[in-house]
Amino acid sequence: MPQTRNRAVMNWLFTFAFIVAFLVVFGGFVRLTRSGLSITEWNPISGTVPPIGEQAWQVEFTKYQQTPEFKQINSNMTLEEYQYIFYIEWIHRFIARFAGLVYAIPVFYFLFKKTIPFKEWSS
């Protein structure tokens, strides 16, 4: 089992664990508000910016109106109500992207600097 006493590595791991725990709790909130399916497409890069302007919002809302969730559950939803659930899901995805960066950047840095070994052989 790897054993490190490097303070930077430990701080990074605790920070990442906190972000993941927060992401799980916030994910529960997303689930309770039924916001999770409000963004109909997963665009890892272009999806970092929410719709800007009335026309862009209308395009997103039209896509959502084609989903089974809208047709069966939220058929009376207004654009303003859609924007609310959209932002909840958008924040959730933003936190997930942030968690990915908080993991990926330090892990590659620590591997490059050999602060954490790529392979650790037990004796």
Asked whether the beta carbons of 110 and 9 are under 8 A apart, the reply is yes
pLDDT digit string (tens) for 79-94?
Answer: 999 999 999 999 999 9
Residue 121 placed within a domain: no
Asked whether the beta carbons of 56 and 29 are under 8 A apart, the reply is no
Under the banding of pLDDT at 50, 70 and 90, the label for residue 4 is: low
What is the count of structural domains for the chain?
1
Residue 77 placed within a domain: yes
Residue 117 placed within a domain: no
* Backbone torsion region of residue 39, taken as left when φ is above 0, otherwise alpha when ψ lies between -120 and 50, otherwise beta: beta
Residue 118 placed within a domain: no
Residue 84: what pLDDT?
A: 93
pLDDT digit string (tens) for 16-71?
Answer: 999 999 999 999 999 998 887 888 878 777 778 899 999 999 999 999 999 998 99
Asked whether the beta carbons of 98 and 19 are under 8 A apart, the reply is yes
Mean model confidence pLDDT for the chain: 87
Residue 123 placed within a domain: no
Quickly list H helices, 33-52.
none
Quote the domain boundaries for residue 13: 7-112
Residue 122 has pLDDT above 50, yes or no: no
